A and B are shown apart, each in its own frame.
Chain A
Amino acid sequence: QKEVEQNSGPLSVPEGAIASLNCTYSDRGSQSFFWYRQYSGKSPELIMFIYSNGDKEDGRFTAQLNKASQYVSLLIRDSQPSDSATYLCAVNNGNNRLAFGKGNQVVVIP
């Protein structure tokens, strides 16, 4: 079972700032990585996925993968109040099964 760790506590950022979230994983052989966003009381939704080392940008979101160090990060630029949510890091366990981290709550302060 692949483990995914998200150890940071709630993150408060002012509107317009950059929110930075980190995630580490245990299996060096893991190939694909995901960030899901979950609003309070709602279901998770996919916002980013990354397979290759380096950065992947999509709008205000950037995912970063470093396989040598076994970490994945998510940057949210120009943070908006609508970005206030819990962000879940996930790793593909094969057969489309995902192992999720516990999540990091982000609060964007207007």
Chain B
Amino acid sequence: DAGITQSPRYKITETGRQVTLMCHQTWSHSYMFWYRQDLGHGLRLIYYSAAADITDKGEVPDGYVVSRSKTENFPLTLESATRSQTSVYFCASSKGTGIPGELFFGEGSRLTVL
């Protein structure tokens, strides 16, 4: 049971470069989410998706792009990375049934922008 996996786990990049963080889940969960976690801010929602080809902005979407062509994948792209995007990024999924709000998180991707 692979669950939800993120790659890369660690990434160092430079300002202005494009970076894509990958997220893959094996449960066929309807909902997928991208959060960032920063000291002093907690977890903040970047984008979410209720199903394939349906995405919507969260609390802090600026500078990020997402797509969801397949149910199992939800990549997050930083089109032109900035230092303020240095963070730990968590992908999560939810069944959409059962316990609403039960999110299953990936292990996180630690991104450093120099």
Q: Taking beta carbons and an 8 Å cutoff, which residues of A are in contact with B?
A: 1, 32, 34, 36, 42-46, 49, 88, 90, 92, 95-103
* Contact assessment for A32 and B103 in the assembled complex, using a CB-CB cutoff below 8 Å: no
Question: Is the Cβ of A43 less than 8 Å from the Cβ of B106?
Answer: yes
Assign chain B's interface to a size class: 20 to 34
Separation of A90 and B90 alpha carbons in the complex (Å): 15
Q: Do A44 and B48 have beta carbons less than 8 Å apart?
A: no
Is A97 a contact partner of B105 (Cβ separation < 8 A)? no
- Give the docked Cα–Cα distance between A97 and B43 (Å): 12
| B58: nearest chain-A partner, CB-CB | A97
The residues of A that contact B58 with a CB separation of less than 8 Å are: 97
**Within the assembled complex, what's the spacing in Å between the Cα atoms of A60 and B33?**
30
A80→B99 CA distance, assembly (Å): 27
Q: A43-B106, A96-B96 are in contact. Are A49 and B101 (CB under 8 A)?
A: yes
Interface residues of B in 94-109 (CB under 8 A from A): 94, 96, 99-103, 105-108
In the assembled complex, the Cα of A102 lies from the Cα of B43 at a distance in Å of 7
Residues of A contacting B45 in the complex (Cβ-Cβ under 8 angstroms): 97-99
Inter-chain CA distance A95–B47, complex, in Å, is 12
Question: Bound complex: CA of A42 vs CA of B35, how far in Å?
Answer: 14
B79 to chain A, nearest CB (A): 23
Residues of A near B56 (CB, < 8 A) are 95
Which residues on B sit within 8 Å (CB–CB) of A98?
Answer: 43, 45, 101, 103
Nearest-Cβ distance from residue B33 to partner chain A, whole angstroms: 7
Q: Which of B48-84 contact A (CB under 8 A)?
A: 48, 50, 56, 58-59
